[in-house]
Amino acid sequence: MNSDLQKRMFADLEDKRALGRAVDLAYRYIDETPGRRAFPDNGALTTANESSSTLPERGADAAEIIEQLSSQFSNACVNAIGGRYFGFVTGGVLPVTLAARWLTDVWDQNAPLFRTSPAAAIAEEKCEAWLKDLLGLPEETVAGFVSGSSLAIYSGLAAARWRLLEREGWDLNAKGLAGAPRLRVVAGRQAHGTVVKAVTLLGLGTDNIEWVDVDECGRIKADEVPDLDDKTILLLQAGNVNGGAFDDFGALCAKAKDAGSWTHVDGAFGLWAAATKNYAHLTAGMEDAASWSCDAHKTLNTPYDCGIVFCRDSEAIQSALHQGGSYLETGAGRDGMYMTPELSRRARAFDVWAALAYLGREGVDALVSLLCARTMQFAEEISAAGFELAAPPSFNQLMFACDSDEETQRVLRAVQEGGEAWAAGADWFGRRIIRISVCSWATTEEDVTRSVNAFVAARRSK
Ligand SMILES: *Cc1c(COP(=O)(O)O)cnc(C)c1O
């Protein structure tokens, strides 16, 4: 006998009312995108906040729940699928990847092992091969599909730590870090917070970071990098989170490799430059690094969450992230869990596969180039309007400011509250700046001009 709960759920699958309602509401959300504020107003946040904080004793009809979900929360969303949300580095979503996500969510695949999902394992294999080719990474490179760059960086550095200690004759997995040979960490002062977090999570210690000064764009000063050796992890970045600048891989990666150091490249959004004709020079030389990380949910515009770690030393990453368990039937095909810290994982390679298959090599170039072109348009229009660029714009990132920090902050807040566009602020060499990340395929020339106009109007209004 099926329980009442089972009966309800079999009926949900049979009549598909909730699924149908979700599709209708999703279509409505899409159609309302042009008129939606970039960031919700207070009224919408109040509605979301006023939803009950008490867990209901009894549930409700599935279609009704979908209705409630939409009415209580959809208006409190940032307009990430619109063209004028420039906060952080928040990628948009390609329609094809959204459709892929809907379809494959129905499959509900768990991706750790070939045995948990042959489909996911094979999709990961295909994506790994495509991405290595697209980004020009060495043939021996393996890829792990994780939630984002935070975990991708962690995974790359875990592999680095394992390998450098193994070369010293230290079995890290067995002995731990206590008493281990000391590893050095060299990083530019503009290393991303998630890189620093990975250093702390891995017990390498921020006090051990040898910080290297950066130039006015945030690039590590290559001639100030200390002597490297075979106990050193060198942390470089392809794309500064504020200004978009790329470190000089040509000057550093091969040198580090010759010294026996391990270089990790944080390329959360910038690694994709390697897939273009016009921006590939920014990543020249990075193929001599040992590991790399990037996000598909940023520049490639797949849904969240979707990051990728690449590692040329497959033994190191698999040893660092190894896990056992007699119930885990391994070896039947690709077992992706050996390249990721998690066991259970959503099968995000399907999203990547759909994006790459849809765009093709040309389309990836066109998408990345589009983001860069809109950024340059933004830079030209905003500086023509009298705002000062804090550094030359690079790739898809732009920083500008008003005459004083107070004025910059006031204008930023006014634009954020106005709803026409949304950007975040940051501190740049002691100065308050407004940062723009053009990271969605949906940003049009008109969106850029409208956003620039919003900043101009905010500056005029006092
Ligand atoms: C976004 C970003 C990260 C962190 O990526 P998540 O996907 O948010 O974990 C790391 N480095 C840079 C340069 C970034 O832009």
Nearest Cα neighbor of 165 from 258, 210, 228, 231 is 231
- Closest C-alpha residue for ligand 1 atom 15: 241
**pLDDT tens digits, residue range 268-322?**
999 999 999 999 999 999 999 999 999 999 999 999 999 999 999 999 999 999 8
- CA torsion, points 262, 336, 338, 231, in degrees to nearest 10? 0
* Closest by CA position to 316, among listed 198, 160, 457, 424: 160
Residue 325 is predicted with a pLDDT of 85
Residues in CB range of 74: below 8 A, 6 or more apart = 25, 29
Average pLDDT, the chain: 97
Is residue 53 over pLDDT 90? no
The band of 47, judged by pLDDT with boundaries at 50, 70 and 90, is confident
Residue of 89, 151, 397 to test ligand 1 pocket, by largest number of atoms within 8 Å of CB: 89
**In the structure, which protein residues have their CB atom closer than 6 angstroms to any atom of ligand 1?**
89, 148-150, 192, 194, 237, 239, 241, 266, 268-269, 295, 307
Nearest ligand 1 atom, CA 150: 9
Ligand 1 centroid to residue 152 C-alpha, Å: 9
pLDDT at 250: 98
In this prediction, residue 162 carries a pLDDT of 98
pLDDT for res 357: 98
Helix, strand counts (H, E) of the chain: 14, 11
* CA 377 from centre of chain: 24
How far, in Å, from the CA of 414 to the mean position of ligand 1?
A: 27
Cβ-count burial 396-424 (b if 16+ within 10 Å, e if not): bbbbbbbeeeeebbbbbebbbebbbbbbb
Residue 309, classed as helix, strand or coil, is strand
pLDDT per position as a tens digit, 399-432: 999 999 999 999 999 999 999 999 999 999 999 9
Q: Are 235 and 156 in contact (CB under 8 A)?
A: no
